[in-house]
């Protein structure tokens, strides 16, 4: 996730940055495809006293912990079964 108060633009990667990885090429080539433009405060169509039409995450207001906890724990349980004990000991 990239957030900025100014414009961010991503260029297409060059071959030397890909190290022959198809996954790296896919990820680095598609950043722009997943952009979610949020209105800037001065452009927003809401009254200042109204809540914004999106939820802003901050350190003091972060709902992701609660939303992702169950999925993260299930992922941890599965991956512990998939990878050998030696991986975890060395990790």
Q: Over the stretch 2-61, which tens digit does the pLDDT of each residue have?
A: 777 777 888 888 999 999 888 888 888 888 787 776 666 555 555 555 666 667 777 787
CA distances from 47 to 37, 39, 41, 42 (A): 20, 13, 10, 11
pLDDT, position 70: 87
pLDDT, position 58: 78
pLDDT band at 79 (very low <50, low <70, confident <90, very high): confident
pTM for this prediction: 0.38
Tokens of 3: 């957030």
Residues 6+ apart with CB under 8 A from 25: 13, 18
**Cα–Cα distance, 41 to 64 (Å, whole number):** 23
């Amino acid at each position: 996730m990239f957030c900025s108060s100014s414009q961010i633009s991503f260029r297409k990667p060059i071959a030397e940055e890909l190290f022959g990885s198809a996954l790296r090429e896919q990820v680095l080539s598609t950043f722009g495809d997943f952009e979610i433009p949020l209105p800037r405060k001065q452009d927003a169509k809401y009254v200042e006293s109204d809540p914004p039409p999106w939820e802003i995450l901050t350190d003091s207001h972060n709902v992701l912990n609660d939303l992702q906890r169950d999925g993260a724990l299930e992922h941890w349980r599965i991956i512990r079964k998939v990878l050998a004990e030696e991986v975890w000991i060395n990790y």
